[in-house]
Structure 1
Amino acid sequence: MDQPSRPSLLAVFGHPDDEALLAGGVLAQHAAAGADTAVVTATWASVTHRAAELADALAVLGAGEPRMLGYADARVPESAPARPRLCDTPIDELTEAIVSHIRAVRPQILITHDAYGQLTGHPDHVRTHQATLLAFHAAGLEHRYPDAGPPWRPQALYAATHPHSRAGTLSALMKRVGKTTLSVPDEQVTAAVDVGSHLDQKWRAILAHRSQVSRERPLPGILSRLAPVDREPLIRTEYFTRLSPDHMPGTRPNLVI
């Protein structure tokens, strides 16, 4: 399992728009520094309007073409007609699907949701976290999922998250539309990445998810109704918890460039 000559990053998220909201700045930052970047999205079919929006967002971020697993959103059955809901899919099946993308992309860094499933605890986010954690360990084992490609183990796994101290404003905004929020103790955050130099790219990627921006309750819609001076502090810093073991051999790459 030789390491690639270029740095590389793969993000695995539940829905189209998660990549822009949670790691858009990091994806743009790494791409600008010459890293290979890619995104796996667990829900929504490739023939839907949200797939087209995802493609536009990834183009803005320099993260390649959509890699969609095509399962149904837990709350939107029409997101993937004739496919099971992601949260009903056997964990082994979902893990193998993610392993296949890890082995194809061969990233040094893997990013996914935190164990809460991000601010709202969406069941698709939780399921994606669980399967990605398993896939991170399984991808490097030659006798696990042998049909998914040659083994490859990323050097680092990060969970996108929100610390208690920085979640207050978002919590208040989301409470207005009937949503509660989940955050973690500040000491659990191991990387706080200032993405100010790529803030315009991140915001354009968020706006690419037009169907979400036009609605009241999704976070892109909430953010779009704010003045820039109020919005920018909410999206300028991206927070992560490093989940991979401290004893992993070799150089351990960090998100901060």
Structure 2
Amino acid sequence: MSGIVSLHHPGTVLFVHAHPDDETISTGALIAELIARGSTVVLVTASRGERGEVVPGPLSALVGTEELAHERERELDRATTTLGVAQRFWLGESPARAAGLESRNYRDSGMRWVRPGLAGPADDIDDDALVAAPLDEVVGDLSHLIDLLQPSLVVSYDDGGGYGHPDHVRMHDATLAACAALGVPFAEVVPEPIVDAEWFDLGSRLGVVTDALRHYASQLTVDGTDIVHSGGQREPITTSVGLRLHENRSA
């Protein structure tokens, strides 16, 4: 079921993302707008992005090392502080862990490019990768956090994960299931205007999003109003976003 999305959420809005930088690249302007309107924004991130490519330069030596995960944790902390995010959680760690289960790390599942702009599963997937975990486990962890926070809205990817990254798709599936079970509204981010989604132009938030993106020096370079990714791909900094609402109200 779809409906109208309002940005007036005086309570808590939970954003669900797969890797550090996803929250700023795709939803940074929306986060900043909600905070400016009085919402409390909370973020849960599924993995540390251990398999992310690194921008050529002084951080290149981190590729394939555990230190890359630590650096991405630090980048996430600085970027979300800049945006004004109130609290951050890691999926698999309390309170984003189902009751009675020991903490775990969901590792970045990796990806490969199927064609320009569309990702698919990596050729090699670690046993502790996010997509290797049972969906029920991921849903259980996310449900525990949602039940604790009681957000007025949960925001995550659409069913294609934005551009097909398997971790994004997994978090869409988990968020949809958790919100449906708990009767919490879920809004999925859509990449372009469509008939059943609300489209928000948030150009006034460009400055804070740009400042937040600069903290992700391992993953991207900010060049004016563009992002240059580690592979040299260039795209405009996103300040417009579409949301499609699934009411998910339990009977």
Output the TM-score relative to the length of structure 1.
0.67
- Picking from 133, 136, 140, the partner of 1:96 is 140
- How many residues align? The count is 194
- Picking from 163, 168, 173, the partner of 1:125 is 168
- Picking from 153, 159, 170, the partner of 1:109 is 153
- Picking from 36, 39, 42, the partner of 1:35 is 39
**What value does the CA root-mean-square deviation take over the aligned residues?**
3.0
Q: Secondary structure at the match of 1:66?
A: strand
In structure 2, what is the equivalent of residue 180 of structure 1?
none
1:207/1:220 contact within 8 Å kept: no
Asked if 1:187 is matched to 2:195, the reply is yes
Per the TM alignment, residue 244 of structure 1 is displaced from its structure 2 partner at its CA by 2.3
Asked if 1:67 is matched to 2:89, the reply is yes
1:178-236 deviation digits (Å, cap 9, x = unpaired)? xxxxxxxx224x11111122111112222221111159xxx94349x899xx83xx512
1:140-175 deviation digits (Å, cap 9, x = unpaired)? 2xxxxxxxxxxxx43x21111212x7xxxxxxxxxx
1:38/1:105 contact within 8 Å kept: no
Q: 1:199 and 1:108 mapped to 2: Cα distance?
A: 25
Q: Secondary structure at the match of 1:158?
A: strand
1:78-132 deviation digits (Å, cap 9, x = unpaired)? xxxx97100111011100111122122221011011000112x000001010011
Q: 1:31 and 1:43 mapped to 2: Cα distance?
A: 24
Q: Secondary structure at the match of 1:43?
A: coil
1:112/1:129 contact within 8 Å kept: yes
Return structure 1 stretches of 4+ with deviation > 2 angstroms: 219-223
1:38-88 deviation digits (Å, cap 9, x = unpaired)? 111111189621111111111011112431123111128xxxxx9710011
Task: Tell me which amino acid in the other structure corresponds to 1:239.
Answer: G
Query: In structure 2, do the counterparts of structure 1 residues 248 and 193 end up closer, same or farther at CA, with 3 Å as the change threshold?
Result: farther
- Picking from 185, 197, 205, the partner of 1:198 is 205
Task: Tell me which amino acid in the other structure corresponds to 2:161.
Answer: G
Asked if 1:243 is matched to 2:250, the reply is no
In structure 2, what is the equivalent of residue 134 of structure 1?
177
Identity rate of aligned residues, in percent?
A: 26
Query: In structure 2, do the counterparts of structure 1 residues 27 and 17 end up closer, same or farther at CA, with 3 Å as the change threshold?
Result: same
Task: Tell me which amino acid in the other structure corresponds to 1:242.
Answer: L
Structure 1 alignment gaps of length 5 or more: 77-81, 141-152, 166-185, 250-257
Q: 2:149 and 2:141 mapped to 1: Cα distance?
A: 13
Asked if 1:221 is matched to 2:228, the reply is yes
Task: Tell me which amino acid in the other structure corresponds to 1:127.
Answer: R
Query: In structure 2, do the counterparts of structure 1 residues 41 and 83 end up closer, same or farther at CA, with 3 Å as the change threshold?
Result: farther
Structure 1 or 2: larger helix share? 1
Asked if 1:209 is matched to 2:216, the reply is yes
Task: Tell me which amino acid in the other structure corresponds to 1:21.
Answer: I
Query: In structure 2, do the counterparts of structure 1 residues 88 and 35 end up closer, same or farther at CA, with 3 Å as the change threshold?
Result: same
1:54/1:66 contact within 8 Å kept: no
Q: 2:154 and 2:247 mapped to 1: Cα distance?
A: 10
In structure 1, what is the equivalent of residue 73 of structure 2?
51
Q: Which of 109-118 and 43-52 deviates more?
A: 43-52
1:55/1:65 contact within 8 Å kept: no
1:69-84 equivalences in 2 (<5 Å): 69=91, 70-75=105-110, 84=128
Task: Tell me which amino acid in the other structure corresponds to 1:91.
Answer: L
Query: In structure 2, do the counterparts of structure 1 residues 126 and 226 end up closer, same or farther at CA, with 3 Å as the change threshold?
Result: closer
Structure 2 alignment gaps of length 5 or more: 1-8, 51-66, 92-104, 112-125
